[in-house]
Chains A and B, each alone.
Chain A
């Protein structure tokens, strides 16, 4: 027997083992988890809402056997502390260290704008659930190839404003008969920009005169002099714009029993925790809110998500997700629906095309209630006459049968209940002046 013949069985065994090992490695690689990264704040109610919405969706997908041929999803997080540079560092970390396949974001405007350039560099599919800045969507419209991996599943501020002007016309002017207002807004970019919108669009279109403008420091703790000034102006109502510690003007309004009604934009009132935050003194506050909002009736699937949310997080703040929690939940489903259709998150173009074609329609009583789809390149929204490529497919025209409404107006009542008061299709309450005003 030749030497080589002696070793043939051993060599064959070794070759088989090597093949098995290589094949095994390939199989193991196939079963490597898909990594989803979260970028945003860890501490704010909005940030936590995105995290939790994504967590619930990921757990559901994993429990259902995984994605992309049975792979589990791993969820990693990077905190931005709502800081612009930390946002860039966090985006780099998710890509360079965690090797994410997809990023879901709960970032605010300037933080998203900061990491946007890194996104274009890494070409990582990314979905924003919180910022509504139309400037980001404009970038996708203008430089599609560079930013095509970006999607935003909250209606942009342009769409929010369009519908909000209708509220001014239909409810404040036509229904309530208001003719003049005091525009009271905080000295922040948010306050100044919304005040500009009210001054330039809402008031003229609704035929409401601005009797007085009161700009206040965001750290104001005593609103009594401001409310006195507002009442003295003789205006029909106060239009408050507040995003920083908004529960303070809301609760002082009640405590001081200010004699004229108040509406506007109050960010704290977006969350179910508002009532506790005001110590039960939030009655009368009404605010614009992105959807799905507190107090809004829900379709069955979304209601089931809320049940899971409550069971899982109990009394941990936020006790009810903000709108972006819902957006994150459905955003994860949209992203993986697209990945399944495209065979993964790579190649990017295939995933982008599939993502543009995702369409999660949620019906209530046979009517379209919410819709998670996206505007495609070149599509023009008929009312505003402009493109919103990769923004959520919102609808700003009655009967809202082509997409989710861009926003709703909610009101907190004096008994602690909250309801949607506009648009009519989604309303389960009406605009009410506080009892002490009547």
Chain B
């Protein structure tokens, strides 16, 4: 095991330990905010594995999250399926939905791919409202969905387990040859294909992994909320949150989008008592913009540079 990988694993262990202890030292309000932050982090990680390295920028990620959410919501609400069946089914259906994303990716990329995925989200937003509104709840959605656990702390630990498992797995994946190949696809897909790598299979793997995370996250998220509505999921605002978390945290790093999601969620919640109105969203936008301009590679890079400087400082002290 190389030292970078070892340091990373230590980082994950430290993160897990801190997160496990956290609900016992902070109030319920903060714990609740962490639950939202962790779900946003799961969605950001899901986006990152598909788009962070490959250059296939998805603007329709809420489409996948929404499929997972709506599938389990409809199965439990109308057909009274137990959660242990509805959630895996939702994940499978989302992965099938992920293949819809994959087909355009065989032919187009860049801006065109982004627009096609955005169209997927808009399409399903419209469909949910008009097709069988008696079943989907139309624009108002459905309320009174079964919850997996109740209360802030049980929901916190549920989200934490999912985030840690998904996050760590994906972080490991991008450190394998697959991760390197995905980065190469982002740089020059034709060159990767020319080198004999099956690019189609590689992209399919990334898309399926992403859809798995989106479907699982989406399904758990709606059971946490206890409700589902088209505006909660198939919404440009929701998409922006995911994108900003990834870009601000550092796309393509997995740990960066998690940091970005935490930063954004808490920035908004901390501002709430001082700026209860729309001003806090202006501040949030301004902070995100300044940070992004200052360091386009995100918080991940800021921390990395900080650690590097710290090491250099230590070295120079030791040598002197």
Closest to A135 in B: B140
Interface centre among B139, B141, B142, B227 (most CB of A within 10 A): B227
Decide if A113 touches B272 in the complex (CB within 8 Å). Answer: no
Known: A92-B32, A117-B225. A79 touches B143 (CB 8 A): no
Decide if B138 touches A189 in the complex (CB within 8 Å). Answer: yes
B146 to chain A, nearest CB (A): 10
Interface flag for B191 (CB, 8 Å):
no
CB contacts (< 8 Å) of B33 on chain A: these are: 89
Q: What is the number of contacts between chain A and chain B, taking CB atoms within 8 Å?
A: 96
Interface flag for B110 (CB, 8 Å):
no
Interface flag for B276 (CB, 8 Å):
yes
CB contacts (< 8 Å) of B227 on chain A: these are: 84, 88, 113-114, 116-117
Interface flag for B285 (CB, 8 Å):
no
B317 to chain A, nearest CB (A): 44
Decide if B272 touches A110 in the complex (CB within 8 Å). Answer: no
Selecting from B13-21, B179-187, B193-201, B229-237, the interface stretch reads B229-237
> A192 to B134, alpha carbons, bound, how many Å?
13
Closest to A82 in B: B231
Closest to A38 in B: B276
Interface flag for A199 (CB, 8 Å):
no
Known: A89-B36, A110-B231. A116 touches B273 (CB 8 A): no
Interface centre among B140, B226, B235, B238 (most CB of A within 10 A): B140
Interface flag for B144 (CB, 8 Å):
yes
CB contacts (< 8 Å) of B28 on chain A: these are: 96
Decide if B130 touches A114 in the complex (CB within 8 Å). Answer: no
> A79 to B226, alpha carbons, bound, how many Å?
20
Interface residues of A in 342-381 (CB under 8 A from B): none
Decide if A113 touches B32 in the complex (CB within 8 Å). Answer: no
B125 to chain A, nearest CB (A): 11
Interface flag for B269 (CB, 8 Å):
yes
Closest to A85 in B: B232
Closest to A116 in B: B143
A42 to chain B, nearest CB (A): 4
Known: A81-B278, A117-B144, A139-B144. A189 touches B139 (CB 8 A): yes
B50 to chain A, nearest CB (A): 22
Interface flag for A144 (CB, 8 Å):
no
Decide if B29 touches A88 in the complex (CB within 8 Å). Answer: no
B150 to chain A, nearest CB (A): 6
A88 to chain B, nearest CB (A): 6
> A109 to B229, alpha carbons, bound, how many Å?
10
Known: A93-B269, A93-B272. A110 touches B144 (CB 8 A): no
SS of A interface (majority): helix
Decide if B232 touches A79 in the complex (CB within 8 Å). Answer: no
> A110 to B277, alpha carbons, bound, how many Å?
20
CB contacts (< 8 Å) of A81 on chain B: these are: 278, 281
Decide if B229 touches A79 in the complex (CB within 8 Å). Answer: no
> A133 to B137, alpha carbons, bound, how many Å?
12
Closest to A96 in B: B29
CB contacts (< 8 Å) of B138 on chain A: these are: 189, 193
Q: Mark A377-399, 1 if CB is under 8 A from B, else 0.
A: 00000000000000000000000
Interface residues of A in 27-65 (CB under 8 A from B): 42-43
Decide if B232 touches A114 in the complex (CB within 8 Å). Answer: yes
Decide if B278 touches A96 in the complex (CB within 8 Å). Answer: no
B156 to chain A, nearest CB (A): 13
> A79 to B150, alpha carbons, bound, how many Å?
24
> A42 to B235, alpha carbons, bound, how many Å?
20
Known: A92-B29, A109-B140, A117-B144. A83 touches B269 (CB 8 A): no
CB contacts (< 8 Å) of B278 on chain A: these are: 42-43, 79, 81
CB contacts (< 8 Å) of A188 on chain B: these are: 139
CB contacts (< 8 Å) of B152 on chain A: these are: 96
B283 to chain A, nearest CB (A): 13
Q: Mark B229-259, 1 if CB is under 8 A from A, else 0.
A: 1011001011000000000000000000000
A106 to chain B, nearest CB (A): 13
Closest to B151 in A: A121
Decide if B269 touches A189 in the complex (CB within 8 Å). Answer: no
Decide if A97 touches B29 in the complex (CB within 8 Å). Answer: yes
Interface flag for B129 (CB, 8 Å):
yes
> A117 to B150, alpha carbons, bound, how many Å?
11
Interface residues of A in 62-85 (CB under 8 A from B): 77-79, 81, 83-85
B42 to chain A, nearest CB (A): 14
Q: Which among A93, A116, A143, A190 is the interface contact of B29 at CB below 8 angstroms?
A: A93
Interface residues of B in 127-161 (CB under 8 A from A): 129-130, 133, 138-145, 147, 150-152
Decide if A118 touches B226 in the complex (CB within 8 Å). Answer: yes
CB contacts (< 8 Å) of B29 on chain A: these are: 92-93, 96-97
CB contacts (< 8 Å) of A83 on chain B: these are: 231-232, 235, 237
> A110 to B230, alpha carbons, bound, how many Å?
9
A36 to chain B, nearest CB (A): 14
B70 to chain A, nearest CB (A): 14
Interface residues of A in 398-424 (CB under 8 A from B): none
CB contacts (< 8 Å) of A136 on chain B: these are: 143
Decide if A189 touches B150 in the complex (CB within 8 Å). Answer: no
> A96 to B23, alpha carbons, bound, how many Å?
14
Decide if B229 touches A96 in the complex (CB within 8 Å). Answer: no
A105 to chain B, nearest CB (A): 14
> A79 to B276, alpha carbons, bound, how many Å?
6
- 30 A-B pairs in the complex with CB atoms less than 8 angstroms apart: A79-B276, A79-B277, A81-B278, A84-B227, A84-B229, A84-B231, A84-B232, A88-B227, A89-B33, A89-B269, A92-B32, A97-B29, A109-B140, A110-B140, A110-B229, A113-B140, A113-B142, A113-B143, A116-B226, A117-B144, A118-B226, A121-B150, A121-B151, A135-B140, A135-B143, A136-B143, A189-B133, A189-B139, A192-B129, A193-B138
Name B residues whose Cβ lies closer than 8 Å to a Cβ of A.
27-29, 32-33, 36, 129-130, 133, 138-145, 147, 150-152, 225-227, 229, 231-232, 235, 237-238, 269, 272-273, 276-278, 281
Name A residues whose Cβ lies closer than 8 Å to a Cβ of B.
42-43, 77-79, 81, 83-85, 88-89, 92-93, 96-97, 109-110, 113-114, 116-118, 121, 133, 135-136, 139, 143, 188-190, 192-193
Given A85-B225, A143-B144, A192-B130, 20 further pairs, Cβ under 8 A: A79-B277, A81-B278, A84-B141, A84-B227, A85-B36, A85-B238, A88-B227, A89-B33, A89-B36, A93-B272, A110-B140, A110-B229, A110-B232, A113-B227, A113-B229, A114-B141, A114-B227, A114-B232, A189-B138, A189-B139
